[in-house]
Chain A
Amino acid sequence: MAGYIARRLLQAIPVLLGTTFLIYFMVFAMPGDPIVALFGDKTPPPQVLEQLRERYNLDQPFIVQYFIFLGNIFRGDLGTSFSGQPVSEILAETFPVTLRLALMAVIIEMVFGIAVGLISGLRKGGIFDASALVVSLILISLPVFVVAFVAQFIFGIQLGWFRTTVGPGAPTQDLILPAIVLATISFAQITRLTRASVIETDGQDFVRTAASKGLSRSRIVPVHILRNSLIPVVTYLAVDFGVLMVGATVTEGIFNVPGVGRTLYQAIIRGEGPTVVSFVTVMVLIYLVVNLLVDLLYAVLDPRIRYAK
């Protein structure tokens, strides 16, 4: 296991360097003045331009600029937003809200996704299975901002069950609707993953053995089938994290949730390029760490992974 962790950590280093380099390259190695390009059509005040030029060391050769940028990230210096607040400070303020929202979404999608997937898998080809397939295909096809607006309109405006925008401090009851919207993105994927996995496990020898020993179905299903079907669902969490980051940007923007996503959303809408770059860099770094953790968790759950290769 220690060998596996070491190997996996070593593999993560080039990816970490590569992704940060790529983001930096996309922004700062382009022809023309990257600082001006980051503002699009808008003309920022000259002192802002001057400050950014200084910060990004544009007089240095490109590769030196990159290493200074990397050094800043690892010292926790992520630059300042346009209002003058350090990005790391904004992150510290907004991250807990997003974490709460994401956790609620993950719980909702996991509970419903696994339940629906399990029933579909056990009654393959039945009416429930067919309806679940139709619903999941429709949910996959709906872009998250459409789901968000429709939910906001129906449950917020028409029925008045939820507030359409989240109040200050983001009380948990206000986060329910955004969390449900966020959960719909991955719900379908989790359902289908669980279903396929349940069908495969249901055909395994150990399930037949359990049945022939006389165990009741109500014991076989949770203990033998479900537990062994959940491993692919756990690995999906890594992919899901990326989906949640993009989803949170849109959902938090629409529901005005004071989290990381809304901050990024507003920076994008206002054309504050440098802030966008800082946030995307941080998100990608978190994404890499989460992927690493899920990989390690996978190896703990499934010994075959550790010994492969």
Chain B
Amino acid sequence: MPSNTRPDQQHFVAPLEETPLVAIDKVKAEGKPTNLWTDAWADVRGRPMFWISSALIVLVVIVALFPGLFTQVPPNNDCQLSNSNGGPADGHPLGFTKQGCDIYSRIIHGTSTSLSVGIIVTVLVAVLGITFGAFAGFYGGWIDSVLSRLGDIFFSIPYILAAVVIMSVFSKYANVWVISLAIGIFAWPATARVLRAEILRVKNADYVMAATALGVSRFRILLRHVLPNSIAPVIVITTISLASAIVAEATLSFLGVGLPSSTMSWGNDISAAQLDLRTAPQVLILPSIALSITVLSFIMLGEVVRDALDPKARARR
């Protein structure tokens, strides 16, 4: 072996076993291969916050789907004004609203409104955001310029203000679908921006070039290779947008441009109770707690998922 050391110099190389290189080079032959999603699952599984938030979300979904399981008291009929703002009574664990309706029953029956708005807005935001973001990021050029400027325009109007304007015009038709549309139509640019940035990073990867060299069509590359590898941050922002949509609906209902007062909604109940804050704070605070816990569980889930999917966030933990 030719030596590249000078006469008095010692050339020392540590035996391979003593260096950390062995550990680095070692490839686990047995066991399943891992990817971003299995790693994320392994990470998420060990965190109490994941299980707490998931349990709460499951509970909220069950309450929304089957309110009859939790209360037999009708939320709207059977209200007696003699019970106005009354405290807890037999069969009415949380007391009564100003109209003498059962607070507990109203909270239970209002769940599906909040959750429906959250889900419809989220689906709308995801569809619009992914379509705009994917085309802008992947095709670039003038498509990118047009779509990004369009996104800028929608982004420049804070979505609650936009929804206030839309709901002022459409107040006659206010229902869960209209309010979701009013919120969602201005809330998508954030998702589109995140996805566009991620696609710009992914689209020059070797596997994309390999697919191009194999003659795969551009659109198919986008669907099969680029999107699945850039969707992680979208999932995080989508979870959080569900929480924001629930808050937005409650805020609009609170401002009086949300759902009609006949619709059972936490925002409406909070709004109706504000005048009696001094004498009967519980009427306002109880639905607020329900609202906040629901929002908190989606925020917590988003937090956990972000930590699991974003290696940078994981390092910051």
Minimum Cβ distance to chain B for residue A198 (Å): 10
Interface string of B295-310 (1 = CB under 8 A from A): 1100110010000000
Task: Give the residues in chain B near A143, CB-CB below 8 Å.
Answer: 247, 250-251, 254, 288, 291-292, 295
Q: Is the CB of A15 within 8 A of B149?
A: yes
Minimum Cβ distance to chain B for residue A269 (Å): 5
Task: Give the residues in chain A near B55, CB-CB below 8 Å.
Answer: none
Interchain CB contact (< 8 A) of A19 among B156, B160, B293, B317: B156
Chain A, 244-271, CB within 8 A of any chain B CB: 245-246, 249-250, 253-254, 265, 268-269, 271
Interface of A is mostly: helix
Interchain CB contact (< 8 A) of B316 among A14, A18, A124: A124
Task: Give the residues in chain A near B285, CB-CB below 8 Å.
Answer: 149-150, 153
A141 part of interface (Cβ distance < 8 Å): yes
B152 part of interface (Cβ distance < 8 Å): yes
Smallest CB gap from B155: residue in A: A15
Task: Give the residues in chain A near B172, CB-CB below 8 Å.
Answer: 37, 40-41
Minimum Cβ distance to chain A for residue B283 (Å): 11
Smallest CB gap from B186: residue in A: A22
Q: Is the CB of B299 within 8 A of A277?
A: no
Bound Cα distance A263, B184 (Å)? 26
Task: Give the residues in chain B near A250, CB-CB below 8 Å.
Answer: 251, 254-255
Interface residues on B, range: 35 or more
Number of interface residues, chain A, beta carbon within 8 A: 56
Bound Cα distance A141, B296 (Å)? 5
- Top 9 nearest A-B pairs (CB, nearest first) are A18-B153, A40-B171, A141-B296, A242-B158, A141-B295, A146-B288, A246-B160, A273-B168, A143-B247
Q: Mark A residues whose CB is within 8 Å of B.
A: 11, 14-15, 18-19, 22-23, 26-27, 30, 34, 37-38, 40-41, 124-125, 137-138, 140-146, 149-150, 152-153, 157, 195-196, 199-200, 242-243, 245-246, 249-250, 253-254, 265, 268-269, 271, 273, 276-277, 280, 283-284, 287-288, 291
Q: Mark B residues whose CB is within 8 Å of A.
A: 149-150, 152-154, 156-158, 160-162, 164-166, 168-172, 243, 247, 250-251, 254-257, 270, 274, 277-278, 281, 284-285, 288, 291-293, 295-296, 299-300, 303, 313, 316-317
